[in-house]
Amino acid sequence: MEDPWDMAENMLSDVLVSNVYNQFFKNNSDLFKDKIVMDVGCRSGLLSLLAVEAGAVKVFAVGNMRSARYVTKALGHGENAEVFEPLKGCISQIRLPCGLKKVDIIVSEWMGHALFADSLFRQMLEARDKWLARGGHIFPNVANLYIHGIAQSARQTMNKNLRPVLLTDEYVNQQSVITEKSLLKTINLTTSKYNESFTVDFKMKALRKGKVSGCMLYFDIGFINARGQLQKLFATGPDTPKTYMKQTLLSLEDNALDVADQELLVGRFSMKLGSFAPRGVEFSLGLRVHK
């Protein structure tokens, strides 16, 4: 399961997200101590390294072998060197060493653009169903996907034949936001199904008079523990510090909407997981002024 979407450098250079992960593992070392952990994707290798440092008795990594080599090198020949073990191959083919059948914890930087695009969502569920012990944990395991109306044009990065929705990934600041946010989807990897395709109707109120030229998708991410307590980790919204993950913009282009202050917009958003590309998704957006 070599990860072709190589964001390791961007992840590791993101001080904010790295510090958030580092603080979580330090504050929850009792969760990882003497546990068997699997890092699905091993995108930057950071979660593997932090799990080792938090006291895991074994950390397996599947996915990015280049990042796995970085973790191996970082551990050197110290007392924790044998704790970390990369496993090559697809999840469906891999067998755990030493007769092991289950792991206690699955960690992963699984999130993609707009949460699902180029994500490890399906791989996480496959690993969960194959290896996670009863009562085990997934980190991070919860996410919310939001939509905002924006008053700036996105670059056209897709073929015109794919209209009316054009996609791009950018960072949008708070000044470009023209509507309230609306929650589209909540995901919990502990209970999610393989086909999380969905269609949802939503409403957004205009914050000022102007032209809505597109919509912005972003997410927040967190961890719910066994007691049902939520710990928020980070978000990719316009009112939060920048992270390595940008927002995804859906451009209305020629169908931009003129809105008055406090005017209500209604829309329908669909997301379908790709059937041909394992990490591809299809977005559909309809938006109009409510009369």
pLDDT in tens, 132-142: 999 999 999 99
Q: What are the structure tokens assigned to 203, written together? A: 């409403």
Between CA 177 and CA 154 the distance in angstroms is 13
Instruction: Count CB neighbours of 175 within 10 A.
Output: 10
The predicted-structure confidence for 155-188, as pLDDT tens digits, reads as follows: 433 333 334 445 677 888 888 999 999 999 999 9
Scan for tokens 């932090």, then name that residue.
50
Count of alpha carbons within 13 Å of 117, Cβ hemisphere only?
Answer: 18
Selected residue with higher pLDDT from 50 and 256: 50
The pLDDT confidence band at residue 252, using thresholds 50, 70 and 90, is confident
The pLDDT confidence band at residue 77, using thresholds 50, 70 and 90, is confident
Count of alpha carbons within 13 Å of 186, Cβ hemisphere only?
Answer: 9
The predicted-structure confidence for 259-288, as pLDDT tens digits, reads as follows: 999 999 999 999 988 765 566 788 899 999
Between CA 99 and CA 148 the distance in angstroms is 49
DSSP readout, the chain?
Answer: ---SS--HHHHHH-HHHHHHHHHHHHHTHHHHTT-EEEEEE-SSSHHHHHHHHTT-SEEEEEE-HHHHHHHHHHHTTSTTTTTEEEE-S-TTT---GGG---EEEEE----BBTBTBT--HHHHHHHHHHHEEEEEEEES-EEEEEEEEESSPPP--S-GGGTT-EEEEE---GGGB-B--EEEEEEETTT--S---EEEEEEEEBSSSEEE-EEEEEEEEEEE-TT--EEEEEE-STTS---SS-EEEEE-GGG-EEE-TT-EEEEEEEEEE-SSSTT-EEEEEEEEE--
CATH T-level fold of 143-289: Hnrnp arginine n-methyltransferase1 (2.70.160)
Scan for tokens 């070392």, then name that residue.
29
Question: What percentage of the chain reaches a pLDDT higher than 70?
Answer: 89
Amino acid identity, position 67: S
- Predicted local confidence at residue 118, as pLDDT: 87
CATH number for domain 8-109, candidates 1.10.3720.10, 3.40.50.150, 3.40.50.720, 1.10.1040.10: 3.40.50.150
User: Quick check: 13 pLDDT over 70?
Assistant: yes
- Predicted local confidence at residue 160, as pLDDT: 36
- Predicted local confidence at residue 10, as pLDDT: 75
What's the mean per-residue pLDDT of the chain? 88
- Predicted local confidence at residue 30, as pLDDT: 95
Between CA 163 and CA 165 the distance in angstroms is 5
Scan for tokens 């250079």, then name that residue.
13
The residue-averaged pLDDT of 184-197 equals 90
User: CB of 245 within 8 A of CB of 237?
Assistant: no
User: So where are the chain's domains?
Assistant: 8-109, 143-289
165: left (phi over 0), alpha (psi -120 to 50) or beta: beta
Same fold, 8-109 and 143-289: no
The residue-averaged pLDDT of 98-114 equals 95
